[in-house]
Every structure is written in structure tokens, then in C-alpha cells.
Structure 1
């Protein structure tokens, strides 16, 4: 047995490794040099080599060491370019030339640039924006009502007592705006646990309990309506912060027995509940008509507060305050505001409708201004070169065209399109209601006059509408088209459509007076025949 073979057997017996590992070890080990052997070789050669060849040998040694060592190269330091190196030579020359210029001359150029390119201000856009804002801290014409609400809350907070208040008024009279401003007061935020719920957002009447429980952050395992009511009443009996519960559109909670409304209005009458209830609705007689049992006991009857419609002067003050806030009061001359406010105050006194008409007037004035500018540009393009040069000096700036005040004819045109009544301001206007809208409104008047149940939905109205059309051999529209038809009438402000998840359950209320609707329809024969036909109501 040779020496190599015996060595391999001895290694294999002692270390107990595989043949492949031993073979790789024997092959690779002689080729690998350590840094210590190379240093020794370099030091020995240094004594035998002349000084002139020392640099060359050192360089060869460094190359050999780099190739022989099986390690990763060291991490190189990051090299950050100086800001000057990021520019090209031409760019550097430009920078030098700018810095060498006269400082006074550069300041003069800056001032000239500012004067030559002023920022254009479109006052039409600002006026439309300020007239579309729903909430504002300034409420002209509602100072008395706001002070009364504030006094009501302060009284119950100081005495730590419960109470209830019912706020009524037609749409657009500032009910929700006043209470929203009251909820933002910091002094009430510290003392009250405020909860605001719009009842039109709930799917069913009894689901209001789940909504109140969620807003009060009451933790309970029950998910049903009865369990939610039990959790609320248990919370009210415990030691808690005084609660301010505001229920907007509370008439949406009406049902056959009014059990939900009775339950909610009874909470403030119970001891140790510490809750202040404010209900908001349009009907003035909701408490007297639907909640008769509350009148039997004095401690259950809520305090009543009514918001009257806005007068002409109040609408004028609201317009002026909003336009002055945006510094665009010159857009609406006094004559145009008086015309708009007088028309809206005589019909409904709805400030939301007045603001909507103001935005439409702004849009019309903006379109008319752009049309005038385009016509002038077209005339300039067709003019001769000499005429073109002279006309450029005469035409005013575009900003002046955009800021041109609205005119009385524009306000009158929008009012006629919105209302379209017999009291139109333009005698040449022959606007008439479409036949389908006439039948819809006549069917609504029939239900309001002859039906005992005044709670009218889109589904009930569509049933009566189909019977009216069938008796007169008029083709009726289906449910989906009828819902769109109701939306069109709603945009005119004649009716109010309270949308629900299912369109058939959406509620409809008449915003105009019935006599005003009959005058607007201008078809007394059709109205008389429909209103006298009780058979179209079916089972009522």
C-alpha cells in the first residue's frame, strides 16, 4: 500500500468524511495561498532585489495578492457629486453670466414681468362658489331663532335637566343651518355628548335605535331592534354625560301606531336620563296631529318653535353677506338682487331656491360673456391688418369681460324657467308644462284633497297616475320613467322628493300652494275632470 493510499485511509477513518470531500481538499489546498506566506516571500525578495526594482515588485505583489485571495472586494465609499459637477459647461457659463449682470437691471426685469402677466381673477367662479356653500357662520335674519335655541340649551345644561324641543318650518327656512351652527359651539362640545341623525338615511323606522346606539358608542351584543332599544335605555339610566340628540326630518319615523316617536319623546320625561331632544320637521302640526298622547301630560309635551319663511329683505341681506364675503358684490347690482329676492319671497321664501337661482344667473352671465368674447375674436380675424392693429387698442381686457355684472333680463329669464307660472315676467314666453307632468301634478292634487292618508309615496302616486291615464286613453310611463319624471318636477321646486333606497318608497310632498299649482298648469278643464274623478284613487 502506498503512502498516499494509507494517508487517505487514515484521514477517512479519523474524520469520517466522504471520498469526494477528501479529493476536493487535496486538489484545492495546494493552489490556495495564505497572506502570511506571501508576506514572507515579499520580505525575502526585498533583501535580494535592488531598490530600483522595488516599486515594480511591490506592484506585482499587490496584483498577485488581489488575484490569489478569494474574498469579496472592500466596500467603496460613496462619491457624492458637488452641485457644480451636475451642470454642463454651457450651463455653468450661463450661471456665471447671470451672476455678472447688474442687480438693478435684474430687479427691473422682475418688476416688468409681474406687471405684464397679472393673475386673472374670474369673479363669476367666486360668486358661484360662495352661493353654493351650504353652511355658513353668518345667518342674517335668524338671529332671534338662534338666540332662542341657545337659551334653551343653556337652561337645561345649567340645571342638568332633560327637555325636548320640536322645530318646524318650510324647507329652506334655516332650521338645520341654525342647529348645525349651534352644534359647532365649543362651549356645548365640552358639556354635551352631541348626536345628529338625519332620519332619511335609515332604511326602516325601527332601525333608528341601531343608529342611535352606534352614535352613542354603546357596546352590546344584541343586534336586533328590541335589543338595541334595551341597550339605549340601560345606558340612559347609568351615570353618563348629558346627551344632545338631534333628529332631522323626524317625520320619517311615523308609522301606523307612532310607537317609535312616542318612545323617543318619552325619554326626556324619565328621571336620571339627562337627555335633550330636538326634533326637526316641516309640518307645523305634527305633534298635535300625530302625537296626541303627548298633549295629555305636560311633562311629555315638547316645546314648539317655528321658523317662518324668509322675507324679501332677509333674502337680500343673505345675498349681500355672501357676496361681500367673497368680495364679488359688484357682480350682482342692487336691482337684480331685489328682483330675485322679491320673486322667491312671494312664492316660497326658500333661501336654498334663491341661492340656486343666483348660481344659474351667474352661469348664464358667464356663458354670455364668453360668447361676446368669441364674436369679437372672430371680427378681429376677419378684419384687415390696419383695422386689426387699431382694434386691439380699443377692446378691453378679458378680465373686464369676465367680471361684467349680471343684467336684469338674465335674472328674469332664469326666474321664468324655474317657476314658469302665469305670473311670468316675460310676456313673450309661452312656456307650458308637458302633458305627463300635468297629469302627475293633477294626480298628486287629487290624492291630497280626497285621500285620508297624506303620506304619499312614488308607488302610490304612480298607481293613481296609471288609472288617470287609462281613463283618458293616454299612454302611461313605467315605474322607472315615472321616478325620473318626479325628479324633473322636483328640480322646479314644485314638489319635494325624499329619496329612499327603493325608488317606489320615496316620499313626495307638495311645496307650492294648490292654487298656485292650478294657475301654473293653465288647463282648468283637465284639472277639473281629474279632481272630480274619485274612482282613480282605487281603495284609497
Structure 2
């Protein structure tokens, strides 16, 4: 019945994919094509019921379970002894190490991360050993230099008002006694604080005003920096504005002064403490502004306590000679001497102790910096700047370098010893380099080349400043007075003198070389000019020239 057999074969449900071979061969000797009895329906087997060929190379992709989302239920056949000993031989270890980290691939691609038996069989024992070693944490790695210790050191070496002033206990006590006697006890008076730049005058006063704010609560405090004023006469509108007087800028000067005096002497008015920083900027013709301000505390019924701060040591004796005839109006004096070597050393060491767990600057470098700065100026701010610039030099040298550093969480003592909290300490050569740039051979005029590099007009201006400072017994002079002395020297030597506007440019060039110091004012003639190096060094450097020697020998007439 051939027709019935053909109908029966037409209903057989063959799977569309190829069936795996059975371990036994077909009777016909052909092991590749199995013979199925007629009439038997072949259904697909589950993955657990499949009988795979012995050779993984003859399995198809689905037979190797490359596209199966779950891991293998058991170990593949013929595993090596080393693979059985590794922890990755368990069922969960069938996945690659990529699965230990989160992946952003699509779900269809994630199935490829399962380790197939074919790929596992092709792995060598050495590759398995490397996979096992790669799972160990790496203790050290190359990193850029952090330099956090340098950042901390630079932050503590600031020139602002510190929390505590060292080596100024005597001056602080004297200043507080004055405030307690005059402000707290409502007794008018005046105080003049003098000292070279960087000796802690303004910082000490600011610290006291902050610390004793509660004690001074009943008084009114007015603080003005005279460098910010357009002229010496502008101090009266500025004071009136702070005292709450309306329309002070539109009132004539004499009327404004009368209003201020009336306000300061009114009954029931709280004590007013007026602090004038950089008071020498109020220098004017006849000194009428300074005289008026110093006479205010001694008006009948005055409620004013005046505190003046300036660099000039003998301002009240030399400029305000009229106060000598009125001893009552003469202010109390408080001088801040330059810092000594020991004081600068203690300031630097106290600041650097705030850097946690490391010594950024060597003690020898600190001592050298203190000795040099104290010998030149005694300016504590200059010492702080020198140390900060030396730290920046070391920091820039190390910024491009890399070091071995332990990774986070690594507890290996050997790896931890590879990194020091301070990669390189700031030593004496770095401090010497900065000091050489700041206080270097600025007046080294010996030799023809050096003399050519220092113009004759600049030499004459320096000589004029030196002679004028000796005559006035002052460290600072105004640019107007300096130009007058310079013009007299040039006339005596029968040389052409430059104008006052050009004199300011000439002084600015000398300032860039570190010879002069300028304190600019709104008016060019009131700009303060001072020598930044010792007079003996200037005289020694300039006396070699015949013309300069004659100028110094002749003096000012």
C-alpha cells in the first residue's frame, strides 16, 4: 500500500534544525545521518536530555549553549586537574570576569558573556592561572603628585590678619590699655602708632577690634584707609558719611568741619573711635588737615578718640611742630619696631605647625629666611612671601612627575612606604633662590657693563633721595619734594632735569628693580617714595662714579 505509507510520512513533524548525532553509529556504517524508523515523530529534546557528541568541535552553536541565557548545569567533560582545583570550576564560575563589573550592553549581547565549553576547552592552564592572578587587587599604581601638603602650607603662610599675633604681646597690651582707658571710660584722647611696613601695626589693631568687640559695643567705630581718598581734604566728607550726616559732599569744607565738630561735642552722643590708617597720606600744604584732626579730641565736651597709623616715625614731631606748643594736644606714641630674627622664626614655625603631619620647610631654611629678612627690613610679610614663593617653586617642579602610590584599600606596608607625605621638602637652596630674586644684587654697579645697565638719571634720582632722607631724617618722602631736590642737584651739576611726570616713571623703573618703594596716591606729587635697601649699600655702590661721588659729597643746599 504505497499510498498509505506516503500519507503517513507526510505527517511526520521533523524539526527545522539539525539533530545532534548519537554516540552510536548507524548500521549502514554512516555515523553522520541517523536512521529513524518510519512512523516515529521526532520532537526536540530539552537541553538536559540532549546527548552531545564527545568532540566539542563538532557541536553546533546551540549545542555548545552559546545562546543559552543561563549557565551550564554541570562541568564540561575532560577538564584538566588545574581547572578543577581553581575556584572558577564551580557552576557560578562559568562566567567571564567581565560579569563582575556592570555592563551596559543589550540583553541579547549579554548571553555571549557565558563561557562556552568550546572556549573553556581551548584555554590553556597558563591562561587560567593568569585569570586567577588578575582577580587579586593591585597594590600600587602610578599617580600624579598631589601636593596637598604644599597647598596647606601656602594657605597658612598668608599675610592677612592671623588669629594670634606672635612677638607683639607688649604692643597689644599697650593698645588695649589705651582703648580701655579712653573708649570704655569715655575719656577723649589720641594715639599715634608708627612703624616700618610689615611690623604688625594694622594687624594688631584689627585683631584687638575683633577680640574686644563686645567691650566696645557702646561706642561707634569708624575705620578709614587714607590711601583710598582722592585728596587730603576728602577725609572730612568720608568721616561725615560714616557718622550719618546727609549731603556732606555738597557742603563747603569749613561748614562741614563745623558740623562735624558740633556732632562730636554734642551731649549724649556715644564715644566715637576714629581710626585713620596710612595717616601720612593726609599730608597737605600747611598741614591744616592733620592739625584739625588732632585737635578734635581736645575740644570742649569732645566725644572722640583718635588713632592714627603711619610708617613715618616722627610725624608728630617733624611735621606737626605746632603740637609741641600745645602739649595737651600731643598724642600718645606707640612704636612697632622691626621683627628680629628670633621673632620671624617663631612666626614661621607657628604657622607651619598648622600643616598636619609633615614638615614642608626645613628648619635650616626657616632660619636662613628669618636671618636675611630681619637684616634687610624686619618685614614679617616679606618673610611669609619668600617662604610661599619657595614652596611654589618646589610644587611646580613636582607637578609633572609621577610616583608609585598604593591604591585605596590596599594595606600592604611595602606599598604604603613608597609614598612620602612630603615628596620634596623646601630647603635652603630654594629659599636662597627667592631671596636672591627679591633682595639680590640690585645695586651692583661695579664694572662698565653694570654701569651701562643703570642709567645716569636713575643714579642721580637715587642720590637725591638718599640726601633728602638724610636731611629730613625720614624714610619716606613725597615725589614732589624728591623732584625738587633732584632738580637742585641737576642745576648744580649743570645737567638737564626731567619733568615731574617723567620723574614718576623713573621712580617706577627703580621700583621694578627693587631699589625704591612707591606708595601711590591720587595726586602724583603726594606719592610716597622710600629706599628699599640700606643707605650704606647705596652709598657704597654709587661712590665709585666721579659724578655721583661729587653729588653725595656736595649734599643738598
User: Which bin holds the TM-score, normalised by the shorter protein?
Assistant: 0.5 to 0.7
Counterpart of 1:330 in structure 2 is 359
CA offset at residue 465 of structure 1? 5.6
Counterpart of 1:3 in structure 2 is none
Aligned partner (choices 320, 323, 344) of residue 291 of structure 1 = 320
Aligned partner (choices 115, 134, 148) of residue 122 of structure 1 = 148
Counterpart of 1:501 in structure 2 is 522
Aligned partner (choices 263, 271, 275) of residue 300 of structure 2 = 271
Counterpart of 2:464 in structure 1 is 443
Q: Does 1:318 align with 2:332?
A: no
Counterpart of 1:77 in structure 2 is none
**Are the counterparts in 1 of residues 281 and 526 from structure 2 also a CA contact under 8 Å?**
no
CA offset at residue 281 of structure 1? 1.5
**Are the counterparts in 1 of residues 145 and 399 from structure 2 also a CA contact under 8 Å?**
no
Change (3 A) 1:115 1:258: same
Aligned partner (choices 190, 205, 229) of residue 202 of structure 1 = 229
Q: How far apart, CA to CA, are the structure 1 residues paired with 2:232 and 2:391?
A: 41
CA offset at residue 237 of structure 1? 2.2
Range that drifts further, 221-230 or 305-314? 221-230
Other structure's SS at 1:176 match: helix
Other structure's SS at 1:361 match: helix
CA offset at residue 295 of structure 1? 2.8
Q: Does 1:184 align with 2:204?
A: no
Q: Does 1:212 align with 2:239?
A: yes
CA offset at residue 191 of structure 1? 2.1
Q: How far apart, CA to CA, are the structure 1 residues paired with 2:553 and 2:275?
A: 42
**Are the counterparts in 2 of residues 443 and 465 from structure 1 also a CA contact under 8 Å?**
yes
Q: How far apart, CA to CA, are the structure 1 residues paired with 2:379 and 2:218?
A: 34
What pairs up with 1:88-103 in 2 under 5 angstroms?
Answer: none
Range that drifts further, 362-371 or 267-276? 362-371
**Are the counterparts in 2 of residues 344 and 353 from structure 1 also a CA contact under 8 Å?**
yes
Q: How far apart, CA to CA, are the structure 2 residues paired with 1:486 and 1:328?
A: 46
Change (3 A) 1:477 1:131: farther
CA offset at residue 173 of structure 1? 0.9
Counterpart of 2:255 in structure 1 is 227
Counterpart of 1:140 in structure 2 is 166
Aligned partner (choices 427, 430, 435) of residue 407 of structure 1 = 427
CA offset at residue 227 of structure 1? 2.7
- Between the two proteins, the alignment pairs up a number of residues equal to 410
**Are the counterparts in 2 of residues 498 and 508 from structure 1 also a CA contact under 8 Å?**
yes
Q: Deviations over 1:370-393 (max 9, x none)?
A: 47x39x99xxxxxxxxxxxxxxx9
Counterpart of 1:14 in structure 2 is none
Counterpart of 2:265 in structure 1 is 237
**Are the counterparts in 2 of residues 167 and 175 from structure 1 also a CA contact under 8 Å?**
yes
**Are the counterparts in 1 of residues 229 and 522 from structure 2 also a CA contact under 8 Å?**
no
Q: Deviations over 1:82-118 (max 9, x none)?
A: xxxxxxxx79989xxxxxxxxxxxxxx9x99999989
**Are the counterparts in 1 of residues 196 and 337 from structure 2 also a CA contact under 8 Å?**
yes
Counterpart of 1:383 in structure 2 is none
Other structure's SS at 2:323 match: helix
Change (3 A) 1:403 1:276: farther
- In proportion to residue count, which structure has more helix? 1
Q: Which has the higher Rg, Structure 1 or Structure 2?
A: 2
Change (3 A) 1:515 1:452: closer
Q: How far apart, CA to CA, are the structure 1 residues paired with 2:210 and 2:442?
A: 43
**Are the counterparts in 2 of residues 422 and 520 from structure 1 also a CA contact under 8 Å?**
no
What pairs up with 1:435-474 in 2 under 5 angstroms?
Answer: 435-436=454-455, 437-449=458-470, 456-458=477-479, 461=482
Q: Deviations over 1:335-384 (max 9, x none)?
A: 0111110111122211122122222222222334347x39x99xxxxxxx
Q: How far apart, CA to CA, are the structure 2 residues paired with 1:433 and 1:337?
A: 37
Counterpart of 1:385 in structure 2 is none
Q: How far apart, CA to CA, are the structure 1 residues paired with 2:358 and 2:492?
A: 54
Q: How far apart, CA to CA, are the structure 1 residues paired with 2:489 and 2:416?
A: 63
Q: How far apart, CA to CA, are the structure 2 residues paired with 1:148 and 1:519?
A: 40
